[in-house]
């Protein structure tokens, strides 16, 4: 359990080792946690026993999701409604919203903002997704929304955006996060 504000980073060369960043500015503290010998680091991170599963998961008070490769975890600012952000290469971003009452979530096709073009819409029993294209500061970008049922009449929305050059990475990572949602 991290102390806010926090961040977590992994290296592809050492997938069992996580760097924990706590604080901001001059009060920033860092610690390295190795899953093979994980220990609490005072005022940085409390390490608790976890499942035997060899997959990194992000746990909130209501659900957990996988931590996709190539992404760092960052705490949301005070007052933000999302519990965390996943930052990838070149400003790739994935973040959850909710759980929300289904009645508050418009149909996915209506989530396209001004200047966005819908590229695809997909539905299956566990997940509905929409893939959008748009221009941002003269560059081609992609955004997707993934609607995950979460109990009776509720859902999570996993939103992802990235430069178009990372469209494959961001879509696959957002789909993996959305499909891994597990209620606590």
Look at residue 42 and tell me whether its pLDDT is greater than 80: no
Tell me the C-alpha distance between 166 and 90, whole Å.
Answer: 8
Alpha carbons 56 and 50: distance in angstroms, whole number: 10
74-92 burial, b at 16+ Cβ within 10 Å, e below that, comes to bbeeeeeeebbbbbbeeeb
CA-CA-CA-CA torsion sign (77, 79, 82, 83): positive
Q: Which two tokens stand for residue 71?
A: 């992404």
For the ranges 30-34, 66-70, 73-77, 101-105, the lowest mean pLDDT is seen at: 30-34
How does the average pLDDT of the chain come out, rounded? 88
Whole-structure pTM value: 0.89
Q: DSSP letter at 46? A: -
How many whole angstroms separate alpha carbon 141 and alpha carbon 72? 20
The predicted model gives 67-86 an average pLDDT of 92
pLDDT at 129: 97
For the domain made up of 51-183, give the CATH fold. Answer: Protein Transport Mog1p; Chain A (3.40.1000)
**What's the pLDDT tens digit per position in 113-155?**
999 999 999 999 889 999 999 999 999 999 999 999 999 999 9
């Amino acid at each position: 359990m991290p102390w806010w504000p926090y961040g977590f980073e992994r290296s592809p060369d050492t997938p069992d080792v996580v760097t924990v960043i706590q604080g901001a500015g001059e009060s920033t503290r860092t610690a390295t946690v190795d899953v093979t010998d994980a220990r609490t680091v005072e005022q940085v991170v409390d390490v608790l026993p976890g499942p035997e599963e060899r997959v990194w998961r992000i746990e909130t008070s209501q659900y957990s999701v996988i931590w996709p490769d190539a992404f760092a975890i960052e705490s949301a600012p005070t007052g933000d409604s999302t519990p965390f952000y996943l930052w990838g290469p070149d400003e790739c971003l994935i973040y959850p919203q909710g759980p929300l009452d289904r009645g508050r979530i418009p149909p996915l096709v209506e989530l396209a903002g001004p200047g966005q073009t819908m590229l695809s819409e997909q539905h299956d029993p566990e997940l509905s997704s929409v893939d959008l294209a748009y221009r941002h500061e003269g560059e081609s970008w992609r955004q997707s929304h993934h609607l995950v049922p979460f109990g009776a009449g509720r859902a999570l929305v996993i939103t992802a955006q990235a430069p178009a050059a990372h469209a494959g990475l961001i879509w696959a990572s957002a789909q993996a996060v959305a499909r891994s949602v597990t209620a606590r």
